[in-house]
Amino acid sequence: MKPKIEDVAKVAGVSPTTVSRVLNDRGYISGKTKDKVYAAMEEINYVPNDLARSLYNKRSYLIGVIVPSTGNPFFGELVAYIESICDEKGYKVLLCNSLHEADKEKKYWEMLRRNQVDGVIVVTYNRGLVDKEQQFPAVAIDHYLSEHIHVVSSDNFQGGELASRELLETGCKKIIHINGDANLETPANNRQYAYERVMKEAGRTPETYHVVSDAAFLESNIGTIQQLFEEHPDVDGIFASDDLLAIRTLQYAEHLGYKVPEDLKIVGYDGTSLIRSLYPNLTTIIQPIYQIADDAVQTLIQEIDNTSDDRKEKTFPVSLWKGETTGSFT
Amino acid sequence: MKPKIEDVAKVAGVSPTTVSRVLNDRGYISGKTKDKVYAAMEEINYVPNDLARSLYNKRSYLIGVIVPSTGNPFFGELVAYIESICDEKGYKVLLCNSLHEADKEKKYWEMLRRNQVDGVIVVTYNRGLVDKEQQFPAVAIDHYLSEHIHVVSSDNFQGGELASRELLETGCKKIIHINGDANLETPANNRQYAYERVMKEAGRTPETYHVVSDAAFLESNIGTIQQLFEEHPDVDGIFASDDLLAIRTLQYAEHLGYKVPEDLKIVGYDGTSLIRSLYPNLTTIIQPIYQIADDAVQTLIQEIDNTSDDRKEKTFPVSLWKGETTGSFT
DNA sequence: CTGAAAGCGCTTACAG
DNA sequence: CTGAAAGCGCTTACAG
């Protein structure tokens, strides 16, 4: 049997109340008693039961984190940061990989409620999850969920602009955009709007191809990329809405015989540490993942500590990582 | 206030006992009563409190997962699989990123105990964590932890052999091995032993360089790689103990003017979906990540359901992914 | 088929 | 400075 507070009390020759007080450093306790209690805890290898504590305190220090999949490097890094920051602040993370399935998200949401999490950080592209009254504090990353849920994101519009302008400025004549699943309401939508706007302002005709990805965004339909090159062999600039897509496009283009950046320039999106380390040549838009994670956790904890009514919305600027895929090889 | 079982009981006009019975589908209850109870739960938007349940049942359906960092694609994928499989089986995952720090691991281990997890799946390269009596069911991935803890891994020795032989068979004269941190007791050690054995059997002199990595294995000291090429400009085969290392080596080699695979052949290790998708050209050893995850979860749950005394040790075979970095360009 | 009571391990007013 | 008692939300023998 796991030792409980009562066992410690017996060994230390005090009451359970006193043990609890020592544990929580609450009220006045003589140094001697404290020592006795600590010794007793040590002796029987006692560890408090957080379930029982949480039950009484109505505070679990548990935070639910819902992402599509940690298998995708963007979410893998995001979750690693979120967890580390939570740990620093005394919170624990209950991890949920939704795989973009709306019903999984729904089930996870309820699971988190049952487990009395203090709050939730969620990356979801399915609306309408948060029906009814707001259940508990939540922060959405990169997506508007409801009028009660805070959102923290990086500036997707700015990112789209930066990427599009980079291609314009490096002399591309025919710039095409590749985006993810058109049915998903992702932050990438704003990247597309920005692209369209920049194109129009420059007197160009925007054109976007949509690629269907799997849940982890790991594989993506190469068919669409093929189609792009068949329909527009004269393309000389591509803005892909994420780095994996950009790299796949790059590979396919080289396979077709295009030289990058001479014949074709490419800009990706996300700029995770991993991709920057593996493909330092790829020009991309860097999202400040750590800042997003940090702000999401901070905002959530603030909300947990004192529920306020005003929804917060924070947006962090992105930056351009200039690699050789848009470099002018002279 | 969150509704509790008592509130449901009042609305339904029955006792809390009955509500609990309906909830757990236990004992005989008339259809009518059931309906009334369900209706009441629906009406007040009731969700059971799993903390209270777990407290009573001494079963939390919580599993702790400790990995270095989900930011590393290998662990990101592993964790994604583990979590999905756990979810399927009704378990929830408490995520811990140890960042390879022994004292963080220790703290996490205690945190998991406090939270009454039913078991733990751990990837750690620090020994001596599991002192005292075994606290609860645990499965270690890729590493022997104690005589009570199951271990599941892929065949690292076989992987090292496959990689080394591949280089031998593709005609390399001078084959060097790059491994991770020499101070960490990782599964990569066995890859190195296999390399050394194969080299000796072929009458070669094995030579291994050690690279110091950061916690997430994302960055690694390029200095060591530089040194390798300075000391052995005639190297024509490199076996790197993970893919990220392999890719960095590849990049550095190309930067130095080596042509891969003509002048230099490279084999990596891990073969995550991500890397295979991003660098399909890289010859690598594929670890069966899904199988490892699946077996780890299964073994753990089995252990939770009926603690047995015999430690299980399972090893899955790896396979060679033949890319162009060892291809013979003719 | 259904209810009252005790208990899971902890904490916190309330006394002393 | 310390203890006895009630309660967090649930479940399960035990009665009926």
The domain spans of chain A are: 5-48, 58-152+289-314, 156-288
> How does pLDDT run across B256-315, given as a tens digit for each residue?
999 999 999 999 999 999 999 899 999 999 999 999 999 999 999 999 987 666 778 899
pLDDT of residue A200: 96
B29 touches strand C (CB under 7 A): yes
pLDDT of residue B35: 86
Q: Does the pLDDT of residue B156 top 50, yes or no?
A: yes
Architecture of domain A58-152+289-314: 3-Layer(aba) Sandwich (3.40)
Lowest mean pLDDT among A18-27, A240-249, B171-180, B232-241: A18-27
| Direct distance between the N- and C-terminal alpha carbons of chain B, in angstroms, rounded to an integer | 74
Sequence-distant (6+) residues with CB within 8 A of B295 are B152, B314, B316
Mean pLDDT of B84-89: 96
> How does pLDDT run across A122-150, given as a tens digit for each residue?
998 776 666 555 678 999 998 887 777 88
Half-sphere exposure of A286 (CA within 13 A, CB side): 17
**φ/ψ bin of A257: left (φ > 0), alpha (ψ from -120 to 50), beta (otherwise):** left
pLDDT of residue B144: 80
Contacts of B242 in chain A (CB under 8 A): none
Mean pLDDT of B178-197: 87
**φ/ψ bin of B111: left (φ > 0), alpha (ψ from -120 to 50), beta (otherwise):** alpha
Architecture of domain B60-153+289-314: 3-Layer(aba) Sandwich (3.40)
pLDDT of residue A132: 54
> How does pLDDT run across B208-251, given as a tens digit for each residue?
999 887 665 566 678 889 999 999 999 999 999 999 999 999 99
B116 contact A CB<8A: yes
> With pLDDT > 90 as the criterion, what percentage of chain A qualifies?
65
Question: Is-contact A55 B51, C-beta < 8 A?
Answer: yes
Q: Does the pLDDT of residue B141 top 60, yes or no?
A: yes
Residue A83 CA: distances (Å) to CA of A87, A89, B100, B280: 6, 10, 15, 31
Q: What pLDDT band is residue B330 in, cutting at 50, 70 and 90?
A: very low
Encoded tokens for B152: 């599941």
Domain B5-48 maps to which CATH number in 1.10.10.60, 1.10.260.40, 3.90.1150.10, 2.40.50.140?
1.10.260.40
Pairing label, strands B319-321, B283-286: antiparallel
B60-153+289-314 and B156-288 share one fold: yes
Interface test with A, best of B67, B278, B279 (most A CBs within 10 A): B278
Please give the Cα distance from B301 to A115 (Å, whole number).
20
Which nucleotide shows the minimum CA-to-C1' distance to residue B12?
C2
pLDDT of residue B28: 77
Please give the Cα distance from B167 to B198 (Å, whole number).
11
Please give the Cα distance from B259 to B240 (Å, whole number).
17
Which nucleotide shows the minimum CA-to-C1' distance to residue A34?
D1
| Direct distance between the N- and C-terminal alpha carbons of chain A, in angstroms, rounded to an integer | 74
Fold of B156-288: Rossmann fold (3.40.50)
A28 touches strand C (CB under 7 A): no
Mean pLDDT of B103-126: 91
Torsion on CA atoms B274, B277, B283, B288, rounded to nearest 10: 50
Q: What are residue B99's phi and psi, to 5 degrees?
A: 55, 25
Please give the Cα distance from A188 to B265 (Å, whole number).
39
Output the average pLDDT for chain A. Answer: 89
Out of A72, A75, A115, closest to residue B92 by CB: A115
Q: What pLDDT band is residue A36 in, cutting at 50, 70 and 90?
A: confident
